Structure 1
Amino acid sequence: MEAVLAKYENQINVFLEDLPDTDEPVWILGACYNVKTKKSELLSDVRSRLWFTYRKKFSPIGGTGPSSDAGWGCMLRCGQMILAQALICSHLGRDWRWDPEKHQPKEYQRILHCFLDKKDSCYSIHQMAQMGVGEGKSVGEWYGPNTVAQVLKKLALFDDWNSLSVYVSMDNTVVIEDIKKLCARADGADLQLQSQRPLDWRPLLLVIPLRMGINSINPVYIQALKECFKMPQSCGVLGGKPNLAYYFIGFIDDELIYLDPHTTQQAVDTESGSAVDDQSFHCQRTPHRMKITSLDPSVALGFFCKSEEDFDSWCDLVQQELLKKRNLRMFELVEKHPSHWPPFVPPTKPEVQTTGAEFIESPDKLSESEEEFEILNA
């Protein structure tokens, strides 16, 4: 344990030296830090985020498919990270911090088990890759932000423990009426009875796929993107550079801060219900930064609302900070379901049929270099 702590102290020093000496605030998923006075708190927040990367030597997907996602799974890993952040906020709260020296709560271990590289983990690379077949993606094929959001929405329907509602906006439009219907839905309940009795709010992961430009991000959207990271409900952003998927968690000045999945680690093997060795699930080196202007225009914004009041507060923030102040809006927020759209029907568990034949090249033929990754344009 002393060696582990010494390692972290060294990483803290590297991280702090790497940060620019500036009075500009650092925003991390709705939390604000001063680099000069809150350095240790800032790093503690960043390293507490669950970090998912490429893995190798897990059981073959579908029994005959890849046993590593190196070279193709970066957006899937980013999708895992944005979902994991929602689950951490749901069970442990936004202020929870990971400490390698302390015993972690049982909810934390259970969340980790949801993402292990095993076919029976509800958000494993196995489940995500095979669910993607229904979205037109062969196992081993690259994903974009919208596709991975659709996969998460479907997988959440099978997750009774977390009871998470996932809403993916369509046509750059968030419909308040539809979200409230989705989050108030009781499994197995007659939808006609919902207006006759109050129902508990199911925690919401709201994902908004966007294209903020043609070949590069339109500068008019930059300030609005920053405002999203300032919101208490911020759950991060899926995106990256062309052909490189990252999980963005905040910004400083004109740079985005992100967790990078492009590291191949050994798959963690553990028995069901047993404690997970979690050292490799927290970024142990300096978080990366990149110029906002280098961002690929295809992204997906993520927000987590634990309660209906939380969602109402988010709607107010969007109106004040994103809609009323901008001539060119990132997305629209409307009260009622558009009349020209098909009726909104809360999703139910889809039938999953995979034959094991929907595979591309074996993992041995996939390059593990960090130069070959998925195209973000979904």
Structure 2
Amino acid sequence: MDAATLTYDTLRFGEFEDFPETSDPVWILGKEFNALTERDDILSDVTSRLWFTYRKNFQPIGGTGPTSDTGWGCMLRCGQMILGQALVCRHLGRDWRWDKGQRQRDAYVSLLNAFIDKKDSCYSIHQIGEHHQPRLLINVMDQKLAMFDRWSRQVVHVAMDNTVVIEDISDGCACPGWTTGGACADPGGASALNGCMEGAGAMVEEEGPLWRPLVLLIPLRLGLTDINEAYIETLKQCFMLPQSLGVIGGKPNSAHYFIGYVGEELIYLDPHTTQPSVEPSDDGQVHDDTYHCQHPPCRMHICELDPSIAAGFFCKTEDEFDDWCMRIRRLSCNRGSLPMFELVESQPSHMVSVDVLNLTPDFPDSDRLERFFDSEDEEFEILSL
């Protein structure tokens, strides 16, 4: 089985096309590049994204469970990638670049350790696997963040019913428990997990308004069986926003993490490569080459995209969120294209109030999130209710 997997992956790595030479602008997570003069910069930016793929030979999930997620974990890996990008923006900045073979910053090491495939890693497949299936992806990751990640202090907000409610986000990101230095009181019962606690003390030194960084996820359906072409320009515009975290989507039974576009092609990172698990050294350093995609990124025509997607955005400050709202309002005024979602000041009367930040598997609306984020490969679909 392992030999077959290695042979398959070797073939896959030989199939990647070089990046196209085109005069069309290249947009990657809010950054514009020229494919003719900035090819190396494009590849450096793509390589610097965290790339989470299938892994094998890790510790059995739950002690007796699977030791590989090949064939069922692609949605989970895409969820890790979009959350990983949010954490990179939070702690390293959007312009941070990964240099192969160089000793990395402590913040990067802590961040990567949070995703290592071990039970004591905050966002590992083992942590999510404790729920028997890697379902309720965003809900579970948010629970782990709230319980363990005293370092990041991020809020994960899932906008239901194609509607982003500004009032709900403002209330969720407000942090009245912050000290004058800017750190929230520790959540009750929190315990140290790998990659989540090392930087906690540094938070006390931060200055800033009483606002917790926001990870905004918007599940959408942009058509019935195929993407409605009226949404295509709006989708492209989302990759141009400086707050962009990209899009989770793909084709039926195959999830991808989309990070940008060029012309009529989407640029994405593909989790469908099985790599050996990685064990950190005693000092926490990680042999991280396999966590960065070092070949030209994958591309697909935008019309091939399954209409069920989830768009992500990161706003570190309240000013960044206000700027995002302004840009979204401008997008909604574009002629010839349809807005993908609605932005409103307060919750419409027809919407049911859902405290996304406090969902549990027993909460009735967690069933709705499960329908959005069922990470079983053979059943992958994100539905907009």
Tell me if structure 2 keeps the 8 A contact 1:257–1:290: yes
- Aligned equivalent of 1:181, options 171, 183, 207: 171
Distance 1:203 1:377 in 2: 25
**1:1-378 → structure 2 map (5 Å cutoff):** 18-130=18-130, 133=131, 138-139=132-133, 147-158=136-147, 159-186=149-176, 200-271=210-281, 274-323=284-333, 325=335, 328-343=338-353, 345=355, 347-348=357-358, 350=360, 373-378=378-383
Amino acid at match of 2:321: F
- Length, aligned pairs only: 326
1:164 maps to a residue whose letter is Q
Aligned identity (percent) is: 54
Give distance in 2, aligned partners of 1:214 and 1:322. 22
Q: Which runs of 5+ in 2 are unaligned?
A: 1-14, 178-183, 186-207, 363-376
Asked if the contact 1:337–1:344 (Cα under 8 Å) also holds between the matched residues in 2, the reply is: no
Aligned-pair distance for 1:326?
A: 5.8
- The answer (yes or no) to whether the contact 1:78–1:261 under 8 Å persists in 2 is yes
- The answer to whether the 8 Å contact 2:220/2:382 transfers is no
Label 1:268 to 1:374 Cα distance change in 2 as closer, same or farther (>3 A).
farther
Alpha-carbon distance in 2 for matches of 1:61, 1:272: 22
Contact residue 239 and residue 260 of structure 2 kept, 8 A: yes
| Counterpart Cα distance in 2 of 1:291 and 1:335 | 35
Over residues 104-149 of structure 1, what are the superposed CA-to-partner deviations in whole Å (9 max), with x where a residue is unaligned?
110000000110101111100111233xx3xxxx42x6x6xxx433
**C-alpha distance in 2, partners of 1:292/1:351?**
35
Whichever residue aligns with residue 173 of structure 1, its letter is T
Pairwise CA distance, 1:344? 5.3
Matched residues in 2 for 1:117 and 1:269: separation?
A: 8
Equivalent residue of 1:157, what SS?
helix
Is the CA contact (8 Å cut-off) linking 1:72 and 1:374 kept in structure 2?
no
Q: Which amino acid aligns with 2:91?
A: H
* C-alpha distance after superposition, 1:71-115 (max 9, x if no partner): 000010000000000000111110100011432110000000110
Q: Which amino acid aligns with 2:46?
A: V
Distance 1:373 1:284 in 2: 28
Q: 1:375 to 1:350 in 2, by over 3 A?
A: closer
* C-alpha distance in structure 2 between counterparts of 1:103 and 1:271, whole Å: 13
Q: 1:286 to 1:374 in 2, by over 3 A?
A: farther
Cα distance in structure 1, aligned partners of 2:122 and 2:360? 14
Residue 199 of structure 1, CA deviation? 6.0
Q: CA RMSD in A?
A: 2.3
Deviation at 1:285, TM superposition (A): 1.8
Distance in 2, Cα, partners of 1:280 & 1:186: 40
| Contact 2:54–2:273 (8 Å) recurs in 1 | yes
Alpha-carbon displacement from aligned partner over 1:326-350 (angstroms, at most 9, x marks no partner): 6632100000122343445473485
Unaligned runs of 5+ in 1: 1-13, 190-197, 353-371
TM-score after normalising by structure 2: 0.79
